[in-house]
Amino acid sequence: MLKVANLRVQYGRIVAVRRVSFEIPPNGALAILGTNGAGKTSCVEAVAGLLPKAEGTVTFGARDITGAPANLIVRHGIALVPQLRELFLDFTVEETLLAATAACRDRSAVGREEIYSLFPRLAERRRSLAGNLSGGEQQMLAISRALTTRPALLILDELSAGLSQGILGLVISSLQKIREAGVSLLVVEQNLEIAAALASECLVMSVGEAVWQGPIREAIDSDEIRKAFFR
């Protein structure tokens, strides 16, 4: 479904990603793992069309989406939940979802009631400003905003960062339902167990390169891989 070949991302003189290739099959899930600065965010931002100067090829289904702008990529069915969530803090929950609906254009949006049944916490807080939500509720809203565009592939950049175990459990179980409904996942994580709850295959990155690819459980169980690439 998604095929990334020979990706390279450069910021001025800093080469953040080089020669990275990976694939996600239909109804599949892949985790990109690695420590701070490994190049994980740069990879997924390139896929989502946020880094137009990235080199390499990105195909999604039968389409070559290399270099396509982010707004078009959303309409082709890829949605990104960014690391910093990037919500409009003075929009209510309801207004945030309405604004996301406007981005759908020719795709039919997922309705608010469907979103609220997935995240009942947001239904209770539908008239609250995004800025007044807890970190976990903001993460639910960022995921919901992406889901509104009815993606075939949902990209989650470090969803676990800063969240408590309890709320993280709620978010993970909703994402598992989304996965069961047929949405593919590309998950950027530093937390191996969170990644393993959402994907069974992983790509490990270190200093901009893909250094290992295989089942996440194998990476978790290998002292060698953990010592080499994780703290």
What residues line the site for ligand ATP (CB under 6 A)? 11, 14, 16, 34, 36-42
The closest alpha carbon to 76, from 107, 43, 103, belongs to 107
For the record, the structure tokens of 208 come out as 């901009």
Work out the burial of residue 143: count CB atoms within 10 Å of its CB; fewer than 13 is exposed, 13-18 middle, 19 or more buried. buried
Nearest distance in Å: CB 110, ligand ATP: 28
Closer CB to ligand ATP, residue 37 or residue 67?
A: 37
Sheet bearing 78-81, strands edge to edge: 78-81, 153-157, 184-189, 29-33, 201-206, 209-215
- What is the DSSP code (8-state) at residue 82? -
Taking the C-alpha atoms of residue 8 and residue 201, their distance in angstroms, rounded to an integer, is 22
Size of the chain, expressed as the number of residues it contains = 231
Sign of CA pseudo-dihedral 118, 120, 123, 128 = negative
Nearest distance in Å: CB 16, ligand ATP: 3
Nearest distance in Å: CB 208, ligand ATP: 7
Taking the C-alpha atoms of residue 116 and residue 102, their distance in angstroms, rounded to an integer, is 18
Closer CB to ligand ATP, residue 27 or residue 35?
A: 35
Closer CB to ligand ATP, residue 53 or residue 63?
A: 53
End-to-end alpha-carbon separation of the chain, Å?
32
Nearest distance in Å: CB 180, ligand ATP: 28
Closer CB to ligand ATP, residue 51 or residue 115?
A: 51
- How large is the C-alpha radius of gyration of the chain? 17
Sheet bearing 63-64, strands edge to edge: 14-24, 2-11, 55-60, 63-64
Closer CB to ligand ATP, residue 38 or residue 225?
A: 38
Closer CB to ligand ATP, residue 14 or residue 89?
A: 14
Closer CB to ligand ATP, residue 36 or residue 165?
A: 36
